Each structure stands twice: as C-alpha cells, then as structure tokens.
Amino acid sequence: MKKRFITIAVDGGAASGKSSTSRALAEKFGLLHVDTGAHYRTLALSLLRRGIDSVEKFAGAEDPFADLALGTCVRGNEARMSISGSVPDDSEIRNDAVNSVVSQFAAIPQVRKFLFDYQRGQVAVARDNNFAGLVMEGRDIGSNILPDADLRIFLTADAAARQRRRAAEGIPDSIAARDKLDSSRKTAPLTQAAGAIVIDSTFLDLSQVVEKISEMIREKLAAEGE
Ligand code: CDP
C-alpha cells in the first residue's frame, strides 16, 4: 500500500509556540515545515524596501507586487520563501521594523490573495520532494489555506506566558498589538477553525505539546493503515 501523506495545520497567536512545535513535528515525522508567518514577513520586507511602509502607501502604489516572483527553497525540513530569487535571513524579517508593519499588511485582502495559491502550492512541494507530509503554521491555515488538512491544531497560551517566551528569545515584539490586529481583521482573521483541536500550552512545555500532537498523528496513520 502507498504510504500515507499527512497534512497538519497549526494555528495560534503570536508566540503561542507554533514554530518550535511545527519544527519538532517536522523532524520527528519527516514532514516539510512551512512557516506562513515568514511569508508575510518576507513580503513585508520587500514592500518596505520599495518604500511602502504603510497601508496608505500600499493603496497608493500602482503595482505594489510588480516583479515580485515567489519561489521556494527547501533546506532540510524547512521550506523558505524566496522573493525574486533570494531568501532573507531571519534577522532581516524578525525585527522591530517588520513587526510594526507585518500585521497591517497581512490585513489587506490583496496581500492575502497574493500569497494564497503559493501557500496551498506548498503541499505539492512537499510531495515533489518526497516528504511524508507537511506541517504548515500560521493564523488561517486550518480555516482558510488547508481546511481539508488531516489534523488542525489551534495553540493557545495566556498572554503573559507568550510575552515571557518571546522576551526569553531576546526578540523585542509587540505581540499584544499584533494579536489584536490579527484577530479583528475582516479577511481570514486569527480564529479557531470549527473542528480544530485546541491545545493550551500555558502549563505545558514544548515536549509535552509535541507528544500530544504526535499521539494524534500516530492515531491518524494507524487508522489509515487498517
Ligand atoms: O512569530 P509570530 O507567531 O509572532 O508571528 P508570525 O507567525 O511570524 O506571523 C507574523 C504576522 O504575519 C502575524 O502577526 C500576522 O499578522 C501575519 N500572518 C497572517 O496574517 N496569517 C498567517 N497565516 C501567518 C501570519
């Protein structure tokens, strides 16, 4: 029998543990890890470099996406989005300048539309590169990008715990402000998709969260094998 290809959506607010959880699951099960937050950050960086640093400037630009060709670079288990052939370093997309505009740009329907096909297309990238499946993290993966995913997880943790985690990483970030914008926007807001499994990690460490989801993955794979 052909081996099962599994798709996992991991959504949650800022610093809810999506990235570390998704990375660990990808390693454990041989999945391709796709961080859609990095897509929004990379696109925000390109817009900033074009002098577009506000929603008003975006609206005033004739063709804000002119010549922005999206590509994928697979490094180990990670899929990184390239724009016009280059993948920015983490330090270029995780800093105050990008943090302060990314959620505003992410609320623009045109921006989300620009990334939609690319993000859905990552399933094919995972298949073409012979991964056992894909774990995609973001805000609207289970609700919008991969509503048909085999597992849809929604990670939560109380705001103080999330702020502490981000501070411990040594990265200054306005997570409360981004969460507010992400939850209140009209297009594909941060929301718990119907049928998603909620995991509150306030009192769980990374390995406990990973184990909980691993158990669900094993169940899915076993059910398929029957
Ligand atoms: O690192 P953190 O979880 O705080 O954020 P991120 O996943 O890197 O995402 C950065 C920003 O991109 C979020 O605050 C959202 O505004 C936006 N985003 C989104 O709108 N939809 C997604 N699927 C992923 C990110």
- Strands 70-75 and 78-83 come out as antiparallel
Residue 171 has pLDDT above 80, yes or no: no
Residue 128 has pLDDT above 60, yes or no: yes
Atom 9, ligand 1: residue with shortest CA distance: 37
Of 15-19, 170-174, 215-219, minimum mean pLDDT range: 170-174
Please state the pTM of the whole predicted model: 0.94
* Residue (of 199, 212, 226, 224) closest to 25 by Cα position: 212
The Å distance, Cα 14 to ligand 1 centre, comes to: 7
Tens-digit pLDDT profile for residues 102-125? 999 999 999 999 999 999 999 999
Average predicted confidence (pLDDT) for the chain = 93
Q: In the structure, what pLDDT confidence band is assigned to residue 226 with cuts at 50, 70 and 90?
A: low
Answer whether 21's CB lies under 8 Å from 210's CB.
Answer: yes
Tens-digit pLDDT profile for residues 189-221? 888 888 899 999 999 999 999 999 999 999 998
Q: What is the pLDDT of residue 182?
A: 87
What is the percent of the chain with per-residue pLDDT over 90, rounded to a whole number? 76
Atom of ligand 1 nearest to the CA of 12: 3
DSSP state of 88: P
Atom 23, ligand 1: residue with shortest CA distance: 138
Best residue among 19, 36, 141, 174 to mutate for probing ligand 1, ranked by most atoms within 8 Å of CB: 36
Q: What is the pLDDT of residue 2?
A: 57
Atom 21, ligand 1: residue with shortest CA distance: 139
Q: Where are the beta strands (DSSP E) in the chain?
A: 6-12, 31-35, 70-75, 78-83, 133-138, 151-156, 197-200
Q: CA separation (Å) from 26 to 184, 192, 201? A: 30, 22, 19
The Å distance, Cα 205 to ligand 1 centre, comes to: 22
The Å distance, Cα 63 to ligand 1 centre, comes to: 23
Answer whether 78's CB lies under 8 Å from 134's CB.
Answer: no
Atom of ligand 1 nearest to the CA of 18: 3
- Rounded distance, CA 131 to CA 134, Å? 7
The Å distance, Cα 139 to ligand 1 centre, comes to: 6
Q: What is the pLDDT of residue 175?
A: 80
Residue 99 identity: N
3-class secondary structure, 28: helix
Answer whether 209's CB lies under 8 Å from 10's CB.
Answer: no
Atom of ligand 1 nearest to the CA of 11: 23
Tens-digit pLDDT profile for residues 38-91? 999 999 999 999 999 999 999 999 999 999 999 999 999 999 999 999 999 999
Of 72-76, 143-147, 171-175, 201-205, minimum mean pLDDT range: 171-175
Answer whether 162's CB lies under 8 Å from 175's CB.
Answer: yes
Atom of ligand 1 nearest to the CA of 137: 23
Q: Which residues does a 6 A CB cutoff place in the pocket of ligand 1?
A: 14-15, 18, 36-37, 40-41, 102-103, 106, 138-141, 175, 178, 182
Q: In the structure, what pLDDT confidence band is assigned to residue 135 with cuts at 50, 70 and 90?
A: very high
Q: What is the pLDDT of residue 225?
A: 64
